[in-house]
Structure 1
Amino acid sequence: MENFQQTLGIGPLLAIVIGAIVLLLVLIIQFRVHAFVALILVSLLTAVVAGIPPQAILTTITSSFGSTLGGVALLVGLGAMLGRLLEVSGGAQALADDLVNRFGEKRAPLALGIASLIFGFPIFFDAGLVVMLPVVFTVARRLGGGLLLYGIPVATAFSVMHVFVPPHPGPVAAAELLGADVGLLVLVGLAVAIPTWIVAGWLFGHWIGQRVVLPVPDILSGGAPAEPPANPPSSGTVVGLLLLPLVLIFINTGLDFARAQGWVNSDAGWFQLARTIGATPVALLIAVLVASYVLGPRRGRDASSVERTLDSALGPVCSIILVTGAGGMFGGVLRASGIGDALADGMAYIGLPIFVAGFLIATALRVAQGSATVALITAAGLVQPAVQAAGYQGADLAAIVVALAAGSVMLSHVNDSGFWLVGRFFNMDIKTTFKTWTVMQTLVGLMGFALSGLIFWLA
């Protein structure tokens, strides 16, 4: 693949992408082919038609699949274990009851969303969502009204924090490329993320939740919801277990910031050890181990019972992990085909203002290859010379980064692993995922672009 040079123009490459997406949708919706099989088949066909050398096709597919699994499998598996422990122990029910008692039934979606905005500051989207799902499912079961009424505000909260606010990798990398001040970017990102969540998460979640009423799935319950014990843990204990991995990850983030500022020696042994402990998979592993004791032997449950509980969590999420990996594989094939680069090169010379052009380039990259982080970083690299030549600084520069981030989250569809992750966890078919997740992500992008544009012109 190192020597592969795409010779097709933008037109043929765009036709290949559209044809691949249409074929995938027809296979899954019309012919009821399992999504995992359909994604593998379409990825292979796309690689062949796009001209990827035959000897590199298998490597491209397996490496893209493996890299996605490397980021998803550990998080989903460990998160599902933690969720199952909270479910079986009655902890999720205790926290749900406390939330409803404190905020009322009508404000439960608001309470869950605000909690997710706070949790989403240090933690990545997929890990935060998996950790919060048992509480979301329990609240939805207790109050009724369908899953989306509670799930959309939570998913949107983690999404807006991940895409707009440092220390998440996309905005941090874009800030470094464009020379934006990270501290100012945090403020601008929050100023955009919070109103965006109100519209795309809370208000849209309320609207779509009343029109698309989904039952609460048993995906984290290992079957039918378990009867909680007579002495469930307190909601404070549950909050502590949920906060434990977040605190470890947040410490990791602080260490990264200290390294960037030159305050610590990044080669020191203690620094590397602390970074490892604060890595998201390790932080979740620690949380699972602590929860296994706190919700197990400490509450009178034997080790065998805890082991069976953890084992029952993995089976239901295997399908989610594999389909998500296959979605990442499809996106990886599209990246390898050069469609993203071709679109970006073509749009870089359309003569629009930098602010608008950057948003459109990031959007095109997002639609073409699926990854929001890749779209954001690539778009930042493409507009970097023009931004530096224009001499933008301060809030103007931070607003440009946020505009690029807004484009990178637009129009999530079948080449985005997040599309499959949310769709499978919420037990939605493709049509419903488009009507809910894709619309929500597009609202996030449009709101983010509008608000960052307001900041850009007022600064």
Structure 2
Amino acid sequence: MPLVIVALGIIVLLILIMKFNINTFISLVVVSFLIALALGMPINEIVKSIETGMGGTLGSIALVFGLGAILGKLIADSGGAQRIAMTLIEKFGLKYIQWAVVVASFILGIALFFEVGLVLLIPIVYQISKQIKVPFLYLGLPMSAALSATHAFLPPHPGPTVIANEFGANVGLVLLYGFLIAIPIVIIAGPIFTKFAKKFVPKAFDKDSTSGSIASIGETKQFKLEDTPGFGISAFTALFPVILMAFSTIVKLSRDANDTENVFFDLVTMIGSPTTVMLLSVLLAIYTMGIARKIPMKQLMESAENAVRAIGMMLLILGAGGALKQVLINGGVGDYVAVLFEGSAISPLILAWLIAAVIRVAQGSATVAALTTAGLVIPMMAGTDVNLELMVLATGAGSIIASHVNDTGFWIVKESFGLTMKETFATWTVLETVISVSGLGFVLLLSLFV
């Protein structure tokens, strides 16, 4: 019965969002109340459970996301992102233009949220495709694959960061393992999948770059290349969070191996936490993308304010997703799932992927799907020796499967590339599914060694 209640709750969530066009944040809060009541939770505990879930989620991620949005905006508004993309394209040459787009998108995808990356890179890819006379989608699909893979598997993106926090996983190891699986996934879902897509949906590739509505995804600044910061400093600034997290993880592994404790290790642990990493990265970006280029501080802070303003609703949605997760835990749904699969031969990794996939298809948001899955599988993980970092990645893989009409990314891709509904399903929806399924495959493969 608890699973039936959850299923009905997700259906209600879908109806509220899709049929009645009610904001996702409001819909999540309403459904959290309805599920709590249906599960028979004591009435005097429902509000407390929802507030605890929302506060607990936002308490651990609001700083990371706010600082992450500011970092991405500073890199974009300074022209650093454009410099990275154009330099790689120049170095790779026209013959390997797809790979240039993939590498540029992967680097920028680490620092930028998925939607921000699309908004930033689509106009650049648009100009490239126009100049070298190749189909817009030929470059657009590999770009989208790289952005989607970083979004699903690499901290400090919402999904992996939030799930790592909920599972108590090491964020640095999630980043390390995420890199190991994201690189082959991007190759498979990017250039390789594009070849097959071109055969099966040729009409989508016949469209020129003017078919898409670039204006539909917001304003993007274009710069003369000589007015942008250098490639080295731009790439270093974008990759600085990864460098800090990687350094912290290596030091932590060394400490664990030697079983030692001192002030140095404590300091490195603090520096390697996502909040400190993003704060230091933003301070670096303020200097490299702003002060060093004589950009007034007032202008830099305007970019910062605009970045935070843009993610306000996303933070509320994430918080509401955490509230729903807490209701599922406090309402006993997670314990029910644990009992249901007690003694089951199904790997917790596969189960986490499966649950996240079902919820993703039902309600659209990858991050909400990941959070809801956490509430269901945390009790089930008790007493098992499953690798927590791989659980994060398996959940992340499941949470991006089969993007369709209830996902914002679906509509951004459709409108940007000028695709029909059928073409969007045959390209973008299949691409997301390829990333999801291959992600699970590589997680299972990695589980044999870690």
Provide the TM-score with structure 1 as the length reference. 0.69
Q: What is aligned with 1:40?
A: 29
Q: What is aligned with 1:340?
A: 334
2:221 aligns with one of 208, 226, 250: 226
Alignment of 1:175-186 (within 5 A): none
1:142 aligns with one of 127, 133, 148: 127
Q: CA RMSD in A?
A: 4.8
What is the alpha-carbon distance in structure 1 between the residues aligned to residue 339 and residue 212 of structure 2?
42
Cα contact 2:3–2:333 (8 A) shared by 1: yes
Once the two structures are superposed, residues 392-445 of structure 1 have per-residue CA deviations (whole angstroms, 9 ceiling, x without a partner) of: xxxxxx8x996996477425589xxxx9897899899xx99x968886665445
Structure 1 position 252 matched with structure 2 position 238 = no
What is the alpha-carbon distance in structure 2 between the residues aligned to residue 43 and residue 117 of structure 1?
36
Residue 31 (structure 1) shift:
0.8
2:9 aligns with one of 12, 20, 33: 20
Change (3 A) 1:90 1:336: same
Residue 340 (structure 1) shift:
2.6
Q: Which amino acid aligns with 2:223?
A: P
Q: Which amino acid aligns with 1:152?
A: A
2:315 aligns with one of 318, 321, 333: 321
Residue 26 (structure 1) shift:
0.8
Change (3 A) 1:130 1:67: farther
Once the two structures are superposed, residues 220-255 of structure 1 have per-residue CA deviations (whole angstroms, 9 ceiling, x without a partner) of: xxx622343662111111011112222111122122
Q: What is aligned with 1:6?
A: none
What is the alpha-carbon distance in structure 1 between the residues aligned to residue 407 and residue 59 of structure 2?
16
Change (3 A) 1:363 1:232: closer
Residue 27 (structure 1) shift:
0.9
Cα contact 1:409–1:445 (8 A) shared by 2: yes
What is the alpha-carbon distance in structure 1 between the residues aligned to residue 98 and residue 26 of structure 2?
36
Q: What is aligned with 2:352?
A: 362
Cα contact 2:69–2:112 (8 A) shared by 1: no
Cα contact 1:79–1:127 (8 A) shared by 2: yes
2:57 aligns with one of 68, 84, 89: 68
What is the alpha-carbon distance in structure 2 between the residues aligned to residue 443 and residue 226 of structure 1?
32
What is the alpha-carbon distance in structure 1 between the residues aligned to residue 66 and residue 447 of structure 2?
41
1:299 aligns with one of 286, 293, 303: 293
What is the alpha-carbon distance in structure 2 between the residues aligned to residue 169 and residue 413 of structure 1?
19
Q: Which amino acid aligns with 2:398?
A: M
Q: Which amino acid aligns with 2:339?
A: D
Q: Which amino acid aligns with 1:307?
A: M
2:85 aligns with one of 77, 96, 107: 96
Q: What is aligned with 1:273?
A: 267
Q: What SS does the corresponding residue of 2:219 show, helix, strand or coil?
A: coil
Change (3 A) 1:129 1:29: closer
- Show structure 2 runs of 5+ residues with no match: 130-135, 360-368, 416-420
1:447 aligns with one of 426, 435, 438: 438
Cα contact 1:94–1:233 (8 A) shared by 2: yes
What is the alpha-carbon distance in structure 1 between the residues aligned to residue 413 and residue 88 of structure 2?
21
Q: What is aligned with 2:418?
A: none
Q: Which amino acid aligns with 1:298?
A: A
Change (3 A) 1:244 1:40: same
Residue 33 (structure 1) shift:
0.8
Residue 446 (structure 1) shift:
3.4
Alignment of 1:80-95 (within 5 A): 80-95=69-84
Q: Which amino acid aligns with 1:16?
A: I
Residue 23 (structure 1) shift:
0.7
Q: What SS does the corresponding residue of 1:261 show, helix, strand or coil?
A: helix
Q: What SS does the corresponding residue of 1:32 show, helix, strand or coil?
A: coil
Cα contact 2:92–2:100 (8 A) shared by 1: yes
What is the alpha-carbon distance in structure 2 between the residues aligned to residue 448 and residue 195 of structure 1?
9
Once the two structures are superposed, residues 148-169 of structure 1 have per-residue CA deviations (whole angstroms, 9 ceiling, x without a partner) of: 6523322214534679x9xx95
Residue 271 (structure 1) shift:
2.2
Cα contact 1:85–1:295 (8 A) shared by 2: yes
Change (3 A) 1:257 1:68: same
Cα contact 2:401–2:436 (8 A) shared by 1: no
Q: What SS does the corresponding residue of 1:370 show, helix, strand or coil?
A: helix
Cα contact 2:84–2:234 (8 A) shared by 1: yes
- Show structure 1 runs of 5+ residues with no match: 1-11, 176-181, 388-397
Change (3 A) 1:457 1:446: same
What is the alpha-carbon distance in structure 2 between the residues aligned to residue 227 and residue 411 of structure 1?
33
1:77 aligns with one of 46, 62, 66: 66
Cα contact 2:248–2:269 (8 A) shared by 1: yes
Residue 102 (structure 1) shift:
2.2
Q: What is aligned with 1:390?
A: none
Q: Which amino acid aligns with 1:447?
A: S
Q: Which amino acid aligns with 2:12?
A: L
Q: Which amino acid aligns with 1:410?
A: G
Residue 322 (structure 1) shift:
1.6
Q: Which amino acid aligns with 1:306?
A: L
What is the alpha-carbon distance in structure 2 between the residues aligned to residue 87 and residue 455 of structure 1?
35
Once the two structures are superposed, residues 371-394 of structure 1 have per-residue CA deviations (whole angstroms, 9 ceiling, x without a partner) of: 46677765554554xx9xxxxxxx
Q: What is aligned with 2:147?
A: 154
Provide the TM-score with structure 2 as the length reference. 0.71
Cα contact 1:94–1:234 (8 A) shared by 2: yes
Cα contact 2:17–2:23 (8 A) shared by 1: yes
Cα contact 1:89–1:233 (8 A) shared by 2: yes
Q: Provide the identity percentage.
A: 26
Change (3 A) 1:193 1:315: closer
The range that moved more, 75-84 or 210-219, is 210-219
1:31 aligns with one of 4, 20, 42: 20
Residue 347 (structure 1) shift:
2.2
Cα contact 2:72–2:112 (8 A) shared by 1: no
Change (3 A) 1:413 1:89: same
What is the alpha-carbon distance in structure 2 between the residues aligned to residue 413 and residue 156 of structure 1?
11
